[in-house]
Every structure is written in C-alpha cells, then in structure tokens.
Amino acid sequence: MPKGNEDSSVSLNKPERPPLKRPKKLSIPSSTSPPNRRFDLGVSIENGSPASCNGDFPNEQWKYPSNLGTTRKKRTTVKPNKIQKLQFSDSMGSKMGGDQKKAGNSSFVQAPPANSPSSYTANTSSTSFSPSTSTSVVTLQEHSSTRRPHQNKHASILYLFIFTCIIFVPYSAYLQYRLVKLEGEKMHLCCENDICHKNGRGSLEEDDVSFSDIQEIDSRKVALYIVVATLILPFLLYKYLDYLPQIINFFRRNKNNKEDVPLKNKIAYMVDVFFSIYPYAKLLALLFATLFLIGFGGLALYAVTGGSFAEALWHSWTYVADSGNHAETEGTVQRIVSVSISSGGMLIFAMMLGLVSDAISEKVDSLRKGKSEVIEMNHVLILGWSDKLGSLLKQLAIANKSVGGGVIVVLAEKEKVEMELDIAKLEFDFMGTSVICRSGSPLILADLKKVSVSKARAIIVLASDENADQSDARALRVVLSLTGVKEGLKGHVVVEMSDLDNEPLVKHVGGELIETVVAHDVIGRLMIQCALQPGLAQIWEDILGFENAEFYIKRWPELDDLCFKDVLISFADAIPCGIKVAAERGKIVINPDDSYVMREGDEVLVIAEDDDTYAPGPLPEVRKGHFLKILDPPKYPEKILFCGWRRDIDDMIMVIEALLAPGSELWMFNEVPEKEREKKLIDGGLDVSGLLNIKLVHRVGNAVIRRHLESLPLETFDSILILADESVEDSVAHSDSRSLATLLLIRDIQSRRLPYKDSKSSTSLRLSGFSHSSWIREMQQASDKSIIISEILDSRTRNLVSVSRISDYVLSNELVSMALAMVAEDKQINRVLEELFAEEGSEMCIKPAEFYLFDQEELCFYDIMSRGRERGEIVIGYRLASQDQDRAIINPPEKTVPRKWSLDDVFVVIASSD
C-alpha cells in the first residue's frame, strides 16, 4: 500500500446478516486502558497519527459490525503482513478497551472516552483523519466466528468432565475398598490384642469369623459398584462415544482435525458386516447375551443377598431359564433384581425362539423353492423347461417301468412349486418313477452340482421357447457349462437343437459326449414322408415311443459266424433291422446284405418290446413259396402345397427335391412377401436355380382366410402340408388353432368343388401301380385326390383331428420328446434315426400286400419276412383291413402261426430309398 497524506473515509453500510447483540453502553477507553480482553476490529493505519472523530456515536450503530467499511475515496488492498490490529474491549462480559501498539512508524487509533463530547454520529458517512494518516481498513469478524471459541471451550470442558468421570469414579471405588480393608485390618489387630489378653487363644475363631464377614461385606460392595458402573457405562458410551477419537487425539497432541466417520457408525457397520458374513453370528450373539445376563445377574444377586457367589449364579440361571422362579423372593431390592433378570431371560428366550423359527422357515422355504442338493446316482437330468417336458417325462417313466422305476431330476429357471403343479396337471401315472424339481440355472456350475450332474446317466438339454438362434446359443452355453464340471460327466448329453446349421458347432464344443436332435429338421422330414406315404406318422409314434416296440442294440455271442438272413429269423420276440459293425468303429448298418457274417464284437439292432423280452433261439422252418415279384411303380410328378412358413423350409425343399420325380410342383402359400422368401431361402443355403425335379410356385395370403384359400386350386394337389407357422410356433394353442382352422377350410372348399371335378383325374397317378388300400382310402374321405398332413403341437388337439378322420397329422412335440427319450436311454439310437430320416439310405415305408402274397393266401409272418428279403426289404409289421384297428402292429407276436391275408392289408418295411 502506498504511503502518503490522504483524506480517508469509512462508509457505514448495513448488510443483510444477523445482528450482534447490542451492548448497553459502548465505551471507548483511552490508550491507558489495560491491554486485556481485546476485541479485534482490524484497523490499521500506516505512517499516521490517530484520526480525530467528531459527533455522537450512538449505541444503535454497534448492532452491525460491518458499519465500518473501507474508505470511499480509494480502495486499497492491505497485505496481511502490513496490517496492524486495533482491539476494543466489549461491554458485555469483556469491556472494550484499547491497547496501543507501535510497530515502526505505524500508530493505532484510540477512541475517545464515553463521556467525551466528540463521538461518532450515525449520519456521517465519513470520518476525518489527520493529514498524516494513510488509508485505513476497519473490519469486524462475523458473529458466528466470535462464538466458535466459546463452543470449543465448552466442548473441551465436557470432554474433560467425561474423562474425569471415567478415571476417578473407579479410582474412588478402589479407594473406598482400600479404606474398608484397612479398617478391617485395624479392627482385627485391636480385637486380637484384646482377646489374647482377656480370653486367651481359644476365642480367635470367632474373630476369624467376624473378619471373613467383613471381607464378604467388602466384596459385596465391590460387586455393587461393578453392577452400578456396568449399568451406567452403556448410557455414557451411547451419549459420548463419538468424542472418544477426539479425546485420544487430544492426549496424543494430534492437531489433525480431519473429518472422519463417527465411531458409532463404524461400530454399527462392523456389526452389520459380522452378522451378514457369518451365518453363526446370531447364535454367538445370543450365547454371549445369555452368559452375560447370567453373570451380571449373579453379580447383582450376590451384591444384594447374603448367599455365596456360586448360589447367586445358580439363582440367576434359574431366573433366566424360568421366569416364575422369582415368585418366592423376599425383599424389595432382591425382587427388583430378580424381576430384571427374569425379564432379560424372557427377552433372550424370545430371541432364541425367533432364531429357531427363522431357521426352520428358511429351511422349509429352501426346500419349497428347490434350493437343496439332490443326492442321486444313475438318474436322468433334464435341463430347461418347454412344452415337450410332459411327453418326455411320460416316455422316460415308461422306459423305467421294466426296472421298477427310476429318478428324473428337472432343473429349470422356474419356482419349484410352479413346476410341481404343472407336472401334477399331466394326470399321468409315473409307475414308480420319481420326478424331483429344482430351481436354478443350467448356466451356473453351482446349480449343476446341486443336481448331481456328474453322477447322472443321461442329461437332456431342452430347447427354450425363444427363437431358433437364441435357443441354440443358450444350448451352446449350457454345453460349455457341462464341459466345465471338474468331476466330469458319467453319462452322455442329448441336446435339442432348433436349427440344423448350428448343430456342428455344438458337436465341436461337446465332443463325443454330445448327441444332438434337431427337432425342426426331424419333423419336417417326417411330414414329407407322411405326405408321400399316408399313415407313416402313426408308425413312427409306435417305434419312437416306449409303449410298444422300439429300437435296441445288444451283443449276442451265440450269433457269431451266422449270416444276416439267419439272424433275421433267430428272434421269436424281436425283428433284427441292422448290425453295429465293430470292425468299422461301431458303424451301424441298417438293412445289410443277407450274406453279411456276424463277427466277434458285432451287435444286433432289433425292434422289440423291451430290452429284456427277447433272446435268440433256434431257427424256424420258413416256406418261401412262389409269388409274383412286382416291381415298385415308377415315380410320377406330383403337386404339393405348403400352407405356412417354417424357418427350416429350405431344408424341406431340398428333401422334396431328392424324393420327387422331375416335373413336380411345390406351391408355397403364406404371408411372407415373395422377395423376402427368396432372400430367406438363399440365406438358408438353397440354390433355387439349381432345383431340377421341382418348380416353386409362390402365393401370398393368409391360410385362415377363406377368400385367400379359394384363390388356390385346392382340388388339384396330391398332398397338402399345413405347417406350424413361424409367427405363432411359440404359442402351442394358437398354432394348433390356426392349423385346425386351415384344415377345416380346405376340406370344405374341396368338398364343394368335388362334383365339378373331371372324373378322369380322380385316380391318383401315385397309386395307379397297385390297388387302393383301405388305409390310404381313409386319408381321402373328403377328396379322392388330396392327402392333408397337419403339424400338431399339442397332444390334446390330436384327438380332434383323429376323431374327425379328415386328415393325417404329425404330432411334432410328442415325436421330438420320444426321440429325445430314446436317445437318452441309448445314444447309439441317434445314428439309427438320422439314417432313417435322411433322404438317402434306408427309410421306413408302407407297402401293399400284393407285393408279397396272393389274395387269401395262408402264410406265417416269417414267410412274409423271407419274401421281403428277396426284395431287399425287412418287414417289421402289418395292418389288417379285416380288423377294425386304428394302428399297425409292429413286431407282431406268434410269428410262426400261419393266417390268411388279404390284398387290402398293408405291410410296414424298412427298405432302401433307391
């Protein structure tokens, strides 16, 4: 700040801030006032004399400390090291005084006395200084800052008081104890001297007794002090616990005033963490509380009663254990203590009952939610939940019937109670098989270990209800989780896939333990086979299900060195279908040549009722006889209609391309735009320009709208396939309702157009090579031309279709469940199904009786099997036209009993697709 002679003024402004308490009378002492109790106004004057002030200075002007401001002429910043303070004494508790300090050539302003005629006036806006004075700065501290030292002073006194109480109260108790002890020793010495002189040595025993009483009284006082201190200490800690770190810092002379978390919060957090991490923390706390109450209560009873400390502890325990034991207590103080102990005991036992109740509820809740561990071996584990689960459980229960039942464990991301209710709605007798449900995720190893995944003999991974890519991605993650099980897997894994393109990736990740069943691919191929051969779906239901005959593979050493034509008639209760060749790494050959000779290690693939119901026996006599060797009729062009869109429709088109004759037409009727169809087919790997046998015809429309269906030539199609549309396949009820409505509309339109059809076209080219069988005619009641195949998802819808007899059907979900159950029982069956459903190789067929016999010819079933071998086929069953039966008989009993056959009968055979 520059030095000079300038006139300075002090502005008096009133800021908006809380006023200070106005003193009764403001006196400005002279320079001779004592230097103590100063009030800092922060007034500094450089190189000048004190300013002279004229006028009155009333008390109202001291309400606001900021009335004194900087000079109006020129604001000059004064550095802190150059400012010298003027301190006044306050009239309230600290009278305002001044202490003149001199440093260099600086001087301090002294206010005139209170009775001086010259004082400050309220109206003056400036104060005149002598010419020699320089710029002066006058500041007053805030009201809050002036009170802060007093608050700190009070807090320090409080801390000191608390510390004094904590130190000197126990010390005073100790001094009292020492005083009583010294008095007892003094009395003992005095008594000893008097008694020894008067009564002799024999009276010392009474003195010893009195001395022990005195010691007992002292110990009771100490116990009482401890009880009182123990009762007071929690209140002191609760009230002043947060001051403990400050006291510690004070004694350590640590001036670190850094803000920290209060000690109460720290202790509460530590207790919370302890109870959260350690499950036994509640029990330990309850045990500690019980022991503390017994000890504290015993100490209190010892202090107020005349018994020993051991007796007091025992009574304390009885009061804690039984609140009624204090009823006979005498004395007001003893009753108060006993009632307090009993009250604490009731509280502790209430807490104990709460803990026991919580533990029982938690255990029951854990059992209800399916969180407990499954301790099983050789069980079937199902991962996931879908609409196929009911059929799958039914098939597995039938498969376990022969061994007296088994255990099936289901792990899904659903509540255990909900899963059990859904399974109970099946209303199916599980025949001794137990179904255990657990709630969890197949992607978590802990949940997999909970269901004993390493000890399961088979694991089935169901596809989810999401779209194909998401479902297969989830299946892939489940397979990765299964491969991460450290204990390894005892059984094989059967994975249900939704898209055929994702199958190689899952097999690559899982390795040899993985068997995949592509549900859409299997159902699509089966629907095409049923469209070309009506009634084939029912046969597949019988073979895939465990209720009738199914596939089994087994080793029979007694069949070694026999050719296959002899093996074929070696089983009275089974029909051999193929050989598992040991020399070719277990390759399964279906319908091998008659000249194949069984070698060591080879196994036989048969169709039988159960794995323990068949065995090889002696060879029966077979009469081949003479019959007309009729060749299969040639393939003729066909016209097929697809109603709906499936995501694997490109694979179905490739199968039809391989099975149909050149010149065939495939009409596609759905709501997908034509340009989008071509894009989807190309993305699926179908080369539309490379189709040689079929021609694609596109029509856009809704299959449940009659007007759209009437635009199609429905009476001209050889087969109509009603597919479960991709847009509604996630809803079983919606999909089946749509399929059933389309079926009824098509049949109604066909029946109305039937009288106007050309009679020349009433004979199907496909059936012109041989006579019409009764089975095929049932499929053509409403029209002698079209065969309708409906894809049904719900088994309850099957009853509506089968009773009406207006269509054949493919029960897709149930067939897939059957295939999964069969592969779960024996993973080798998956290779058999893959070959039978392929467009090349062996396949299941329905053949007319005229291929094997004459009308009313009497033959046994072995004779027909022998004639079928001359055609390169294996006859596995038949359906009689003379009997009112809905299903074919696969693996018929009494194969050696002859019977008369009709040309309307049909036979089920396994033949080469060539």
pLDDT in tens, 472-531: 899 999 999 999 888 889 899 999 998 888 888 898 888 888 999 988 788 888 888 888
User: How confident is the model at residue 708, as a pLDDT?
Assistant: 93
Confidence of residue 435 (pLDDT cuts 50, 70, 90): very high
Confidence of residue 542 (pLDDT cuts 50, 70, 90): confident
As a whole number, mean pLDDT of residues 112-126 equals 39
User: How confident is the model at residue 353, as a pLDDT?
Assistant: 82
What is the rounded distance in angstroms from the CA atom of residue 147 to the CA atom of residue 890?
A: 105
pTM of the model: 0.64
Most confident listed range (53-67, 149-163, 244-258, 711-725): 711-725
Task: State the helix-helix crossing angle for 829-837 and 812-825, rounded to 10 degrees.
Answer: 140
Residue 110 has pLDDT above 50, yes or no: no
User: How confident is the model at residue 564, as a pLDDT?
Assistant: 92
User: How confident is the model at residue 283, as a pLDDT?
Assistant: 81
Counted residue by residue, the chain has a size of 914
With beta carbons less than 8 A apart as the criterion, state whether 30 and 113 touch.
Answer: yes
DSSP label at residue 355: H
- 3-class SS at 198? helix
Confidence of residue 91 (pLDDT cuts 50, 70, 90): very low
- One-letter amino acid at 651 equals D
Residue 898 has pLDDT above 50, yes or no: yes
Confidence of residue 275 (pLDDT cuts 50, 70, 90): confident
- 3-class SS at 517? strand
Beta pairing class for 514-518 and 842-848: unpaired
Residue 607 has pLDDT above 90, yes or no: yes
What percent of the chain stands above pLDDT 90? 19
Residue 337 has pLDDT above 90, yes or no: no
Hunting for tokens 């009823």 — which residue is that? Answer: 327
Residue 381 has pLDDT above 50, yes or no: yes
What is the rounded distance in angstroms from the CA atom of residue 762 to the CA atom of residue 750?
A: 13
As a whole number, mean pLDDT of residues 123-134 equals 38
As a whole number, mean pLDDT of residues 744-767 equals 62
As a whole number, mean pLDDT of residues 309-319 equals 83
Confidence of residue 284 (pLDDT cuts 50, 70, 90): confident
User: How confident is the model at residue 127, as a pLDDT?
Assistant: 38
Q: What is the mean pLDDT of the chain?
A: 74
- 3-class SS at 791? strand
What is the rounded distance in angstroms from the CA atom of residue 301 to the CA atom of residue 224?
A: 9
Residue 769 has pLDDT above 70, yes or no: no
Rg over alpha carbons for the chain, rounded to the nearest Å, is 52
pLDDT tens column, 822-845? 999 998 998 898 888 887 788 888
Residue 121 has pLDDT above 90, yes or no: no
Task: State the helix-helix crossing angle for 281-304 and 263-277, rounded to 10 degrees.
Answer: 120
More confident residue, 77 or 216: 216
Picking from 661, 575, 570, 555, the residue whose alpha carbon sits closest to that of residue 619 is 570
Confidence of residue 602 (pLDDT cuts 50, 70, 90): very high
Residue 146 has pLDDT above 50, yes or no: no
What percent of the chain stands above pLDDT 70? 70
pLDDT tens column, 64-73? 444 444 444 4
With beta carbons less than 8 A apart as the criterion, state whether 514 and 506 touch.
Answer: yes
Q: Other CB atoms closer than 10 Å to residue 821's CB: what's the count?
A: 28
Chain centroid to Cα 564, Å, comes to 55
Picking from 89, 110, 109, 125, the residue whose alpha carbon sits closest to that of residue 46 is 109
- Convert 212-245 to b/e letters by CB count within 10 Å (16 or more is b): eebeeebebebbbbbbeeeeeeeeeeeebeebee
User: How confident is the model at residue 366, as a pLDDT?
Assistant: 72
Confidence of residue 18 (pLDDT cuts 50, 70, 90): very low
Most confident listed range (28-32, 50-54, 548-552): 548-552
Residue 399 has pLDDT above 80, yes or no: yes
Residue 197 has pLDDT above 70, yes or no: no
Q: How many Cα neighbours within 13 Å face the side chain of 286?
A: 17
With beta carbons less than 8 A apart as the criterion, state whether 509 and 806 touch.
Answer: no
Confidence of residue 640 (pLDDT cuts 50, 70, 90): very high
- One-letter amino acid at 274 equals F
User: How confident is the model at residue 883, as a pLDDT?
Assistant: 66
What is the rounded distance in angstroms from the CA atom of residue 190 to the CA atom of residue 171?
A: 28
User: How confident is the model at residue 668, as a pLDDT?
Assistant: 93
The set of residues, in sequence order, having a beta carbon less than 8 Å from that of 511 and lying 6+ positions away, is 483
